[in-house]
Structure 1
């Protein structure tokens, strides 16, 4: 299942991310794993609901907020904390910088936004 972050607010020292999907009937577990979709310019945090993985997409329009509030707690729909979000993002950023496998445009956008 794919869900897309469509709103981010910074409140109470937390980046509160929201999706349109109704997740209230799901028990979501943080997997502490991230991947990217460089073709579609998304950073993806993986959640597990016990039946399937839920790919939580952070489109490039959300990256500025992630960069501005780096290392803050990140939640989705006030329901689940995305544990180790920035630790995992650090690993991805280190791998993406100077790596043409992700495509020049994607790498450039990452480097520019996250100032790496």
Structure 2
């Protein structure tokens, strides 16, 4: 299931993300991937009883919030804490930098947004 982050607020020293998708009982998988075709950084999560991951999608419009508030706890719908988010993001950013395997446009957007 796709969980699209549609709103971000910075409150209580946290990045609070909101989605129309219910995230109750969803657990962090502590893995990240990208969807370079749709320009998204994706955090994977587990939903009990499901065989596939839920995909918390961060589109380019959300990236400046992640960069500016780097290190703050990230919570989706007040129920899903994205554990190990920055460890996974750092690993991904290291792989994306100067790597056109992700597509030139995606690599350029990520490099610009995160000032790589």
Q: What TM-score, normalized by structure 2, do the two folds share?
A: 0.95
Match of 1:108 in 2: 108
CA distance in 2, matches of 1:79, 1:50: 14
Asked if structure 1 preserves the Cα contact closer than 8 Å seen for 2:43 and 2:56, the reply is: yes
Superposed CA deviations along residues 53-94 of structure 1, whole A, max 9, x for unmatched, are 211100111111111101110000000110010110000000
Match of 2:27 in 1: 29
Offset of residue 51 of structure 1: 2.1
| Unmatched segments (≥5 aa) in structure 1 | none
Match of 2:93 in 1: 93
CA distance in 1, matches of 2:23, 2:56: 12
Match of 2:79 in 1: 79
Which of residues 43, 46, 50 is equivalent to 1:48? 46
Q: What TM-score, normalized by structure 1, do the two folds share?
A: 0.95
Offset of residue 49 of structure 1: 1.3
Aligned residues: 114
Match of 1:18 in 2: 18
The CA RMSD over aligned residues, in Å, is 0.9
Offset of residue 43 of structure 1: 0.4
Offset of residue 2 of structure 1: 0.8
CA distance in 1, matches of 2:22, 2:99: 37
